[in-house]
Amino acid sequence: MRTAYTADQIRAAELALMATLPEGTLMQRAAAGLTSVCASLLGRVYGSRVLLLVGRGDNGGDALYAGERLARRGARVEAILAGSKTHAEGLAAFLEAGGRVVEEVGAPELVVDGLVGIGASGALREPYASLVAEANAVDALMVAVDVPSGVDSSTGRVAGVAVDAHVTVTMGACKTGLLVDPGAAKVGLLEVIDIGLGPYLPDPDVAALTAEDVEGLLPRPGAESDKYRRGVIGIAAGSDRYTGAAVLSVGGALRAGAGMVRYAGTAPPVQQVRARWPEAVVTELDHPSIAGVGRVQAWVAGPGLGTGDWAHELVAGVLATDVPVLLDADALTIVSRDRGLLRRAAPVLITPHAGELSRLIGVPGDRVEASRLEHARRAAAELGVTVLLKGSTTLIAEDERPVRVNLTGSSWLATGGTGDVLSGVGGALLAAGLTPYDAGSCAAFLHGLAGRIASDGAPLAAADVADAVPSAIRSLRGESRSGGRRS
C-alpha cells in the first residue's frame, strides 16, 4: 500500500529524525537522491545544461546542493535566486563547484524547481508566479523538488499557476497533495527518496491500494462455493428512458464475479437486460416495490432510474432493507432531497461525481472540484456513509479512516455509462462480503484497470469496460509483481 502524509506530519517526523543526526544530514541525503534522478534523466551529465529555480526554503537548499554535485560532474549549472534570502551554505557550495547565478531562464536541458516547499499554500506570489510560467514554457525536462511549486502538498489544491513537472522527487515519504487532483496532474512521474523517516511517520493521511492489496482483498471461490455464498446482488436501475443503465450495471456485477444478480425494473429495461444478460434473474415491476424480488446480500440503486415519485418510492424501499446499499446517479439526487432516507443501521456506499456531491452537502460543484479531499471527508462524516468520489482522482472516504486514493484509470473512462459499470462492480463486492470501504476501493481499482485494458490508448464504450473486468482481475498478479505504478 502506498501511503501519503500532510506537511505537518512530515515536518514532525523530520524534526524527530534530525534530533538523532548531525546537522545537515537530511539535506545531504535529499540532495544525493535528487542528483541521482537528475543524472538519470540527463543520461550524459558532462556538458549538459541545468537551471535551478531557487527559493528561500530548505528545498532551495536541496536544489543548490544537487546543483553542486552536478557541476562537479561537469554539468553547466546555473541558478536563479528568486527568494528574499538564499540557503547560505548551499549557495556557497554551489558557487565553489563552478555554478553560476543568472537572472534569465535561457535554454536549459533540465530545470530543477526548488522554489517553494511542503509548507507553502495558496497562490504563488511574484516573482515566483511569473518565473514558473516562464519555466513551464521552456522545452526542457522539469524536475520538482518535494512538490511542484504552486501545489498544496497537504490537499492537492492549485490556486493559480503551478509547475508542470515531468518528475517530482519527494523526500522521505509521499505527500497527500501529490496523489490528489488537481495537484496530482502536475506531478509527472513520482520518485520517493528514502531519507530515514520511516520509523517516525504516524498513521497516514491518505493511502492508495496496490494490485497486491486488491488481490488480497478480493473474494475467491473455493471448493465449497455456490452462487449464494459468492454473493447475491439486487439491482434497481434503468427506466423507460434509460434502459442502457440497467444493462451496464448488471454487466458490471456479473463480470466482477457476482454469484447471482437479481434485477428489478420496468418493462423496457427488463427486455434489454433479458436480451443481453440471460444469467440475471429478472423481476418486472408494475409498481415501485422490491417485495417480490427475493433475498439479496446487497443492493445497487440509482443508475438511470429517474428522480420522480416512482423512483423515490423504490429507492426508499431499497434503503429500508437490512443489507448494504450502493447508491449512484439518480438515487443520489433523490437522497439529496430527502436525506432522512440515509438514516439506517446497515451501511451505505455512495458513488457521486462532484456535481452530485455538491447537491448532497450544499457546496458549489467548483468548490468540490478544487478541494476534493476536504469535501469527500466532510460528506462521509456529515452523511454517515462511505463516499466514493468519482473524477480524475477517485477518492474513497469513510469517517475516521485514511482516505483512499485510486491510482488506476484512463482519461478515456470519461464517457457515458462507465459509472453504471462501476456501480455494478462495487455492488458485487458488497454482496460478496467486503466492507463499503474495501468494496469501493477495490471497485475503483478494477474499474480503472479495466478501462486501461479496454482502451489501450484509444476510445472506449462503457460496455467495453464491463467486458474487460475479468481481464483486470486476471492481471492483478502481474500488476502486483510490477508494482502497478502510475506515471
228 known member of a binding site: no
Report pLDDT for 251.
Answer: 98
Which CATH architecture best describes the domain 2-205? 3-Layer(aba) Sandwich (3.40)
Q: What pLDDT sits at residue 57?
A: 86
Q: Is 164 annotated as a binding residue?
A: no
The interaxial angle of helices 330-337 and 309-319, nearest 10 deg, is 90
The residue whose grid cell reads 543526526 is 21
Determine whether the annotation assigns residue 411 to a binding site: no
Q: Which residues contact 161 (CB under 8 A, 6 or more apart)?
A: 123, 124, 129, 132, 133, 136, 150
**353 among the known binding-site residues?**
yes
60 is in an annotated binding site: yes
Residue 226: predicted pLDDT: 66
The rounded distance, in Å, linking the Cα atoms of 153 and 148 is: 9
* pLDDT at residue number 439: 98
- Residue 223's pLDDT is 66
222 assigned ligand-binding residue: no
Domain locations along the chain: 2-205, 211-482
**384 annotated as belonging to a binding site for a ligand:** no
Q: Is 245 annotated as a binding residue?
A: yes
The Cα 375–Cα 387 span in angstroms is 10
Check the annotation: does 393 bind a ligand: yes
Is 121 known to sit in a ligand binding site? yes
- How far is it, in rounded angstroms, from Cα 223 to Cα 282? 28
Judge whether 205 is annotated as a binding position.
Answer: no
Q: Would you give the distance in Å from CA 120 to the centre of its chain?
A: 22
Number of H helices, E strands in the chain: 16, 19
410 is in an annotated binding site: no
Does residue 441 have a known ligand-binding role?
A: no
- Has 165 been labeled as part of a binding site? no
Q: In what order do the strands lie in the sheet with 298-301?
A: 174-175, 2-5, 206-208, 403-406, 394-397, 386-389, 348-350, 325-327, 298-301, 232-236, 260-265, 281-284
| pLDDT tens series, the chain, 487 aa | 999 999 999 999 999 999 999 999 999 999 999 999 999 999 999 999 999 999 998 999 999 999 999 999 999 999 999 988 999 999 999 999 999 999 999 999 999 999 999 988 899 999 999 999 999 999 999 999 999 999 999 999 999 999 999 999 999 999 999 999 899 999 999 999 999 999 999 999 999 999 999 999 998 877 676 677 789 999 999 999 999 999 999 999 999 999 999 999 999 999 999 999 999 999 999 999 999 999 999 999 999 999 999 999 999 999 999 999 999 999 999 999 999 999 999 999 999 999 999 999 999 999 999 899 999 999 999 999 999 999 988 999 999 999 999 999 888 899 999 999 999 999 999 999 999 999 999 999 999 999 999 998 899 999 999 999 999 999 997 654 444 443 3
CA angle 383, 387, 391 (to 5 degrees): 135
Q: What is the CATH number of domain 211-482?
A: 3.40.1190.20
Rounded distance, CA 465 to CA 417, Å? 10
Question: Is 122 labeled as ligand-binding?
Answer: yes
Task: Count the neighbouring beta carbons within 10 Å of the beta carbon of residue 483.
Answer: 11
Q: Which of 398, 405, 29 is nearest to 181 (CA)?
A: 405
- Could you tell me the pTM of the whole model? 0.90
Q: Letter for the amino acid at 343?
A: R
Q: Which residue matches cell numbers 433475498? A: 295
Cβ atoms of 406 and 425 closer than 8 Å: no
> Is 391 within any annotated ligand binding site?
yes
Domain 2-205 shares a fold with domain 211-482: no
pLDDT in the model for residue 478: 66
